[in-house]
Amino acid sequence: MTDFENKTLEELKQYCRDNNIRGFSRKKKLQLIDLIKEYHKNTSEEDNKIDKEIVDNIIINNSEEDNKIDKEIVDNIIINNSENIITTMSNYNMTQKTPFNKQLTFIEVCAGAGGLSKGFIDSGFKALLLNDTDKYCIKTLKMNHPETNIIKDSMVNLDLEKYKDKKIDVLMGGVPCQSFSQAGKREGIKDNRGKLILHFIKMINILIPNVFIIENVQGLVTHDKGNTLRMIINEINKIGKYIVNYKVLNANDYSVPQNRKRLIIVGINSSINKKFNFPQPHKYKPVLKDVLEKCPESPGVVYKKDKHDIMKIVPEGGCWVDIPDKIAKQYMGKSYESGGGKRGILKRLDMMKPCLTLLTTPSQKQTERCHPIETRPLQTLEYSRIQTFPDDYKFSGSINQIYKQIGNAVPVNLAKAIAKEVMNVLHN
């Protein structure tokens, strides 16, 4: 069992979130350790029972000699009844595709600050290459992954030859797709972003990974009446080797204290003959209190005096509609008369609810992200915690650059949930 005594308070809380252990938010370190141990005591007997009927029906996809199940190996099988996944504690080769003693690998392009890659690395994958064009993101990646090959360049210029024979397990990235709609219609593109998805598909065809993942905004589903997404999938289908599925996932369903919806497109190499299942929502939906309570001070932007004086009268969870009409009208100007919701203006967050989607700054007029209790924008460490980066994850650049990197990132816990399902496909 994990040595919980050597964990920090925040690491213990994160462990509770990852394992859906309730009632941890107000407990001190020793109380948390007792809570976790009690949880394991109550679940271990049920989870570790080996169902003889299931073991008898295991099919090992190897030779007749390999199909003889050694008693010692069978004794090490643990059946996780809650998720119906059979795993093994040995290095026994249960499949021809991916031996259990082989560390799974990935390449990520458009990696940004590394939220997606951090989730995969924490889940046991090894990064062979991380790529981005932003110098601050590159420095952030290098600070956190000093042993990894990290390249600052357009993904179009990457030399893939040395990776062709490595049999990459996962190729992934948050590749811009919206401009592809014009490219698909052969009407030309005003910028080069639309060409990136075409090159990513070319990379799939060159490397033939076991799995590819494209992460994007949920609006891609309806962009150009759905034509953009259909054209992308059609281009991938021309390779003729992948079963493609996509789904919009809300990060709050996966131990992230934020409502943040992202489109995840997953392709599984048809030679694997294994269906990919998107992760099931976790039982516990974290709220801001889980990460903001006792959060250490960190750098952040501040309000000017006139903005501060207005924000301090906004109640927790409220916005411009909750302040005197005269003040709201003066602050909002012409937008006050335009009608509509505009509930992001002068928005103060709520401790007992998930955060609204983090953006590249916490203090835009139309999309305010004011601390629930204190009259100030969210600070950078609070931003990072809401995106479920660990507290020791380092970001480079100015305060504004750090906000931008974090705001654009994939939440780490969402990435972990996806990585777990990918690992199930490759290891089963």
Asked if 249 contacts 119 with a C-beta cutoff of 8 angstroms, the reply is no
Cα–Cα distance list, 400 to 48, 394, 406 (Å): 49, 15, 10
User: Does 177 qualify as catalytic in the annotation?
Assistant: yes
Query: pLDDT (tens digit, 0 to 9) for every residue of the chain, 428 residues total?
Result: 457 777 888 778 878 777 778 777 777 888 888 888 877 766 554 444 434 433 344 333 343 444 443 444 434 433 333 333 223 222 323 333 445 557 999 999 999 999 999 999 999 999 999 999 999 999 999 999 999 999 999 999 999 988 988 889 999 999 986 555 444 444 433 456 667 888 999 999 999 999 999 999 898 898 888 888 999 999 999 999 999 999 999 999 999 999 999 999 999 999 998 899 999 999 999 999 999 999 999 999 999 999 999 999 999 999 999 999 999 999 988 888 776 567 889 999 999 999 999 999 999 888 999 999 999 999 999 999 999 999 999 999 999 999 999 999 999 999 999 999 999 999 86
Which position among 110, 137, 177, 319 bears the catalytic label?
177
Provide the pLDDT for residue 200. 95
Spatial separation of the C-alpha atoms in residues 75 and 236, rounded to whole Å: 43
Fold of 105-285+413-427: Rossmann fold (3.40.50)
Provide the pLDDT for residue 188. 35
| Nearest partner of 211 among 182, 179, 165, 243, judged by Cα | 243
Which single residue is written with the structure tokens 């996809």?
A: 61
Which single residue is written with the structure tokens 């709520």?
A: 350
CATH homologous superfamily for the domain 289-408? DNA Methylase, subunit A, domain 2 (3.90.120.10)
Supply the angle between the helices 193-207 and 227-237 in degrees, to the nearest 10. 30
Domain ranges of the chain: 4-88, 105-285+413-427, 289-408
Residue 339: alpha-carbon gap to chain centroid? 35
CA 358-191-141 angle, to 5 degrees, is: 45
Provide the pLDDT for residue 16. 79
